[in-house]
Amino acid sequence: MLSDCSARKQAEAALQDSYEALHSILEITLDGFWHISALGRLLDVNPAYCQQSGYSRAELLGMPIGKLIAAERTLETTTYLASTLRLGHQQFESVHRRKDQSLWQVEVSSTYRDVAGGQYFMFLRDISKRKLVEEKLELAASVFSHSHEGIMITAADSTIINVNAAFTRITGYSREEALGQTPRLLNSGRQSKEFYATLWHSLEQKGHWYGEVWNRRKNGEIYVEMQTISAVRDTRGNVAQYVALFSDITEAKQHQNELEHIAHYDALTTLPNRVLLADRLHQAIVQTLRRGQLLEVVFLDLDGFKTINDKFGHEAGDQLLMALAAGMKQALRECDTLARIGGDEFVAVLVDLPDVASSMPMLERLLAAASQPVQVGELTLQVSASMGVTFCPQEDEADADTLLRQADQAMYQAKLAGKNRLHFFDIEEDRSVRGHHESIEHIRQALLANEFVLHYQPKVNLRTGAVIGAEALIRWQHPLRGLISPAEFLPVIEEHSLAIELGEWVINSALTQVEQWQAAGLNIPVSVNIGARQLQQHNFVERLLSILAVHPGVKPSCLELEVLETSALEDVTHVSKVIDACRKLGIMFALDDFGTGYSSLTYLKRLPVAMLKIDQSFVRDMLDDPDDLSILKGVVGLASAFHLQVIAEGVETVEHGAMLLQLGCELAQGYGIARPMPGQQLPNWATVWWRHSDWSNLPLLSQADLPMLFASVELRSWTKAIESYLKDERSTPPPLNHQPSHFDQWLKGDGLSRHGQQPSFAKIAALHQQMRSLIAELYGLCERQGNGKKPEALARLGELYELQDALLAQLPLLMADPGH
C-alpha cells in the first residue's frame, strides 16, 4: 500500500512538473487553453483565452464551462467530453459565448488524464475567420453552380479552366468539351478584329469589359449574349484569371428589332416612316457637305388617291399604295431612300449626285412608277403624282426641315400647274414668298399694343360634373378686323423668335387669370399650348421659372403645358428632359392631338407626360365611324396601360359624352360643353353648367353594353355607306348577306342572351329586319335601273333613315329597362 501511494505521488508530482513546464508555453501561445476538473469547472486558463473570451483570469477560474458555451451547443460539448473520457482524446468544433454575449466559433482539441479525480485539458482555436471564408467559398460555389447566367473562367492565357451548368445550357458544350479550349470555340465570325482589339484594350486598361457578343452554339446556331468580362489579379497585380458572365439575349434582341422596325417603318408599305426619314436625311446632308456632292429631296403626293379611296374603299386604297410604293422603290437606286410620311405622301432622298441633270432619269422613272395602273381584284386602278424637288447644298444653309418644306412647296406648285408632273423649288421665289416680315412686324406691334387676348375653354369630368381645368386659347383682337383666329397668325411666326415671346406672354397672362380666379373662389389649373420652337429652347425651364416667380401666389401645379405630338418627336431626348424637369417642379405635360402624329410606343414610353389629349378628328366621327371608335378605345386602353390620364377634345353632343364614358374616358372638352370664353365669365359658368344642362343626366352604362354601342355605330356607318352607293359616290354596294355584321352578331348573340325577354329588344329585331328588307328592295331597284343615278332608290332613302332612327331610339330604352 505504501509503495502504491508513493508511486501515485511521484506521478502527480511529475504531472505537476510537466504542467508547470507547459504553463510557460501556454502563456505565449495564440490558442486558448482550458484546464477543467471532472465536474466541468475551470481550474486554469491561459492569457490567450482571456483575450478571446473577454473575461479576466480571476473571473474564469472556478466558472462552469457551460456558461462559456452557446446554449444550443452545450449538450454536444458534454457528449464530446464523454467521448474524450472514453478515448482519452477528442477534436471537435463548437460555438462559445464571450463576456459581451457575442458568439465565436472554436476548434477544440481535448485530452483527459485520470489524475486527481480526473481532469481535462483543452486547446481552443478561434476559427471564426476561417468559417467565414468557408461560407463565402460555399456561397460562391453555389452561385457558380446554380446561376442562370453562363460563367466561364479562363487562365491568363485564355485557356478555359472552368464553366458552369448554365454555360452548357446556353452554348451546348459540356464542361469536358470546353475545358482546355479557348473562347474562340464560340466564335461566330460576326465580330471584326477591331471589335476584339477594343475588348482586350478595355480589359488591359480598366480590368473589365461589358457589351454584346454574337457567338455560335455547338449546333451551329448563332446567338447574341450580353457579356461581362473581368480580370482577376493576384497579390502582385498580375492577371491570374478572366471571369466571363453572360446571358442569352437572342429573343430580347429579336423583340427589340421588331419594335425598332415598328417605330421606324410604315406598317402598310414597309417603307421608312417620318422618324427614320428625318434621321436618314440628316445623315445624307452631312455626307453631302463632306463629299462636295449634290443631294435631292423629292416630295411626292398622289393625284386622285382620295377619290379612289372614297369610291372603292380603304382596302382597295391600301392595295394601291403598297403596289405603287414597291414600284417607286424599284425606280430608285439602292443608296436612295423612299419614305411614306402620310396617307398618300412620299419623300425620296437621292444622294451622291454629281449634278442636277444626272437625277432627271430617276425623277422620270419615279413619276412613271407612280402612274402605273394597278390591278386590285377585278378593278384596274390608276393615279398620277405631283412631285416637288429641291437641292442641297444651297447658298444659304438648309437643314432637313427646310428641305422638306421647300420640296413640299414645289410639289404644291406642280399640282397647281396641272398635276402629273414635277416642279423644281425656286429659292429666289421662295425668298420673296417667305419675305413676310411685314406680317411678322404687324404681329410684333400687336403684342406691344396688347391686342392679344386669351379665351378659356373648360375641361370637365363628365361623370361628376367637376370642372377640372381650362385651356388658354389665344385670339387677336384686331382694331379693324375684329377677333382673329390663331390659325391666321400663329403659322406666320412658327419659325420665328417672336413665337417664343408670344408663348411666354400667354403663360404670363394665363397665370394672371389664375390669380383672378382664385380671388373669385375658383381654384382650377390652366393649360397652355407650347409651340415647338419655344419647347426646343435650351433654357426653357429657366425662363418658365422666371415667369412663375412673378406670380408667387400661384402654385406651379396650377399650370399645365400641352405639346403637340409632332413637336415632341422633333427632339425626343431634349423634350423628355424638359418634361421631367417641369414634372419635378409640379408642372404636368399633356400630349396634344394624340393619334395624328407618328409616334410609336417607344417614344410614348420615353416622354414622361401625364395626360393624352385625343384629337377631335377621332371624337367628332366616333358615333358614325367604327374605325374612329376603335381608335378611341385603343387610345383609352393605351393611356390606362401607361398610367396616364386621357381627355377627349371636340366633344360636341351629349351622345358623344355618353359614348366616351362607356369607353372609360371621363374627361372632356368641346363646343358641346362650352365654347372658349373670356376668363371673367368662367367662374359663373362653372357654378351653373352642370345643374342647368343635359350633361348631368348622362346614362350610367355598364361595360357589358359596349358591344351594343359598337354595333349601333356600325349600323350608322352601314346606312351612310348605302347612301354613298345610291349617290354613286362608291361603285360597290355595302354587303347585305355576305357576312354577319357586328349588329347581326350582337342581335343573335349577346343582345339575345341579355335582353331577349325585353319588349324593346323585340322591336329592335323587327326594325332591323325591316331595314334589311328595304335595303334589298333598294338594291333591286338599282340593278333594274343600271348605272344611272338610281332616282327611285334615292327617293326612298328617307325611309331607311327613319327605320334606323327608330331602331336607335330603342337602345336607351333597352338599357333603361329594369330587367337590364
Written as nine digits, the cell of 432 is 420673296
pLDDT reading at 256 higher than 50: yes
pLDDT tens-digit map of 667-709? 999 999 999 999 999 999 999 988 767 777 766 656 666 777 7
- DSSP code at position 265: B
The overall average pLDDT reported for the chain is 85
pTM of the model: 0.47
> Of the ranges 120-129, 367-376, 563-572, which is most confident?
367-376
Q: How many angstroms separate the most distant Cα atoms in the chain?
A: 150
pLDDT of residue 682: 96
The C-alpha atoms of residue 682 and residue 688 are separated, in whole angstroms, by 10
3-state secondary structure of 55: coil
Lowest mean pLDDT among 153-167, 423-437, 801-815: 423-437
Mean pLDDT value of segment 179-187: 90
- DSSP code at position 359: G
Written as nine digits, the cell of 315 is 382596302
pLDDT reading at 820 higher than 60: no
DSSP code string of 658-708: HHHHHHT--EE-STTT---EEGGGHHHHHHHTTTTSGGGG-----GGGHHH
pLDDT tens-digit map of 519-568? 999 999 999 999 888 888 889 999 999 999 999 999 999 999 998 866 66
CA nearest to 300, candidates 358, 360, 348: 348
Mean pLDDT value of segment 723-744: 74
CA nearest to 406, candidates 417, 416, 395, 392: 392
Query: Of 783 and 547, which is predicted with more confidence?
Result: 547
Written as nine digits, the cell of 566 is 409632332
Angle 540-549/498-519 helices, nearest 10 degrees? 30
CA nearest to 719, candidates 621, 625, 812: 625
Rg of the chain, C-alpha, whole Å: 42
Q: Name the band, by pLDDT with cuts 50, 70 and 90, for residue 624.
A: confident
Q: How crowded is residue 11: how many other Cβ atoms within 10 Å of its Cβ?
A: 11
pLDDT tens-digit map of 67-81? 889 888 888 888 888
pLDDT of residue 778: 84
CA nearest to 332, candidates 304, 309, 359, 313: 359
The C-alpha atoms of residue 730 and residue 313 are separated, in whole angstroms, by 8
Where does residue 595 fall: left (phi above 0), alpha (psi -120 to 50 degrees), or beta otherwise? left
Q: Name the band, by pLDDT with cuts 50, 70 and 90, for residue 453.
A: very high
Written as nine digits, the cell of 630 is 376603335
The C-alpha atoms of residue 88 and residue 90 are separated, in whole angstroms, by 7
Proportion of the chain in helix, strand, coil states, percent, rounded to 5: 50, 20, 25
DSSP code string of 374-440: EEETTEEE--EEEEEEEEES-SS---HHHHHHHHHHHHHHHHHTTSSEEEE--HHHHHHHS--HHHH
Q: How crowded is residue 718: how many other Cβ atoms within 10 Å of its Cβ?
A: 20
CA dist 599 to 274, 402, 404, Å?
A: 9, 21, 19
Written as nine digits, the cell of 392 is 442641297
pLDDT reading at 395 higher than 70: yes
Cβ atoms of residues 594 and 543 within 8 Å = no
Q: Name the band, by pLDDT with cuts 50, 70 and 90, for residue 632.
A: confident
pLDDT of residue 4: 61
pLDDT reading at 804 higher than 70: yes
Where does residue 594 fall: left (phi above 0), alpha (psi -120 to 50 degrees), or beta otherwise? beta
pLDDT tens-digit map of 478-497? 888 889 889 888 888 888 88
Burial 178-216 (b: 16+ CB within 10 A, else e): beeeebebbeeeebeeeeeeebeebbeeeeebeeebbbb
Burial of 333 (0-12, 13-18, 19+ CB in 10 A): exposed
DSSP code string of 136-151: HHHHHHHHHHH-SSEE
CA dist 523 to 516, 549, 555, Å?
A: 10, 19, 11
The C-alpha atoms of residue 422 and residue 313 are separated, in whole angstroms, by 28
Sequence-distant (6+) residues with CB within 8 A of 538 are none
Residue whose C-alpha cell is 373669385 = 520
The C-alpha atoms of residue 401 and residue 567 are separated, in whole angstroms, by 12
In a 13 Å sphere around the CA of 387, the CA atoms on its Cβ side amount to: 25
The C-alpha atoms of residue 275 and residue 271 are separated, in whole angstroms, by 11
pLDDT of residue 21: 62
pLDDT reading at 397 higher than 60: yes
pLDDT reading at 738 higher than 50: no
Q: Name the band, by pLDDT with cuts 50, 70 and 90, for residue 816.
A: low
Rounded percentage of the chain residues whose pLDDT exceeds 70: 89
CA dist 154 to 131, 230, 231, 284, 311, Å?
A: 28, 11, 10, 45, 70
Angle 797-816/759-785 helices, nearest 10 degrees? 160
Cβ atoms of residues 216 and 190 within 8 Å = no
The C-alpha atoms of residue 726 and residue 335 are separated, in whole angstroms, by 49
Written as nine digits, the cell of 321 is 399604295
The C-alpha atoms of residue 384 and residue 418 are separated, in whole angstroms, by 11
Q: How crowded is residue 305: how many other Cβ atoms within 10 Å of its Cβ?
A: 20
3-state secondary structure of 554: coil
Cβ atoms of residues 62 and 45 within 8 Å = no
The C-alpha atoms of residue 433 and residue 438 are separated, in whole angstroms, by 12
CA dist 295 to 164, 298, 328, 548, 620, Å?
A: 55, 10, 18, 46, 42
Query: Of 408 and 235, which is predicted with more confidence?
Result: 408
Q: Name the band, by pLDDT with cuts 50, 70 and 90, for residue 431.
A: low
DSSP code string of 83-112: HHHHHSEEEEEEEEE-TTS-EEEEEEEEEE
Cβ atoms of residues 512 and 552 within 8 Å = no
- Which amino acid is residue 289, in one-letter code? L
